[in-house]
Amino acid sequence: MMIHVILCGYGRMGKLIHEAIRECGDMELMLVVDRSNEQELYRLKQPADLMIDFSHPDAFDMVLRYVKYSGCALLSGTTGLSEYQIMRMHQLRYDTRIMYASNYSLGIALMLAIVRWVTPYVREDFDLEIIEAHHAKKQDAPSGTAIRLMQAMQKEESDIQGCKYNPDQKGDIGIHVIRGGSLPGEHTVLYLGDQETLQITHTAYSRKLFVNGAMKAARWLMKQESGCYRIEDMMGGYIHGNTGDD
């Protein structure tokens, strides 16, 4: 089945996604859209099957408008979204299929599973820190992936109040941000104990790994029922034990 795609965002990731669509045989690009040509969305001869969004939070309201209008599936990797934008995205889960991930790396999905398992055992005796490093042009800080890691380390994943740049109480999670060079991305979780340290690190060497993950996720998403999904769901419920429709 051919998947008709609208691509929102034509930065580094958008261009790589475009190239991947051109090279595959089961997707067809209908339109590259941004806020300057939004009206072209509503002049298409047929609605898209899928919108792939790697743009900017300022364009996300446009994305949600078209998804609501057309009922197409949405796969988004745009970081820096507000809580209100995320809430509005989740409101569409009963009408279409949505996957939102700050990082489409399989390794990061596994890292999230690991820190969910490890943290409860060491929370009382170890200091918890996250270090994230990205290229100099990355706009949001901390990264969406660092926030997801922090949430996975909390007693309640929805609780983000323990995120502090200078943690001053036991159990606070510090996030430390590095920006420079051309590094695609590195995330490290540190468990700092008395006379011992446990370190878990994921390093991305190329943006191509995120493109590969996003393309795999897009094909998987098109086979699902309406709901909101995370990349962990694509790997199976064994990581966090639900179907993704939460």
Residues taking part in catalysis: 134, 138
Length of the chain: 246
Report the amino acid identity of residue 44: L
Q: Which of these, 140, 147, 178, lies nearest to 55 by C-alpha position?
A: 140
| Dist CA 115 CA 97 (whole Å) | 27
Q: Which of these, 146, 150, 198, 208, lies nearest to 13 by C-alpha position?
A: 208
Q: In what order do the strands lie in the sheet with 73-76?
A: 27-33, 3-8, 50-53, 73-76, 97-100, 227-229
Degrees to nearest 5, angle at CA 208 with 101 and 134: 65
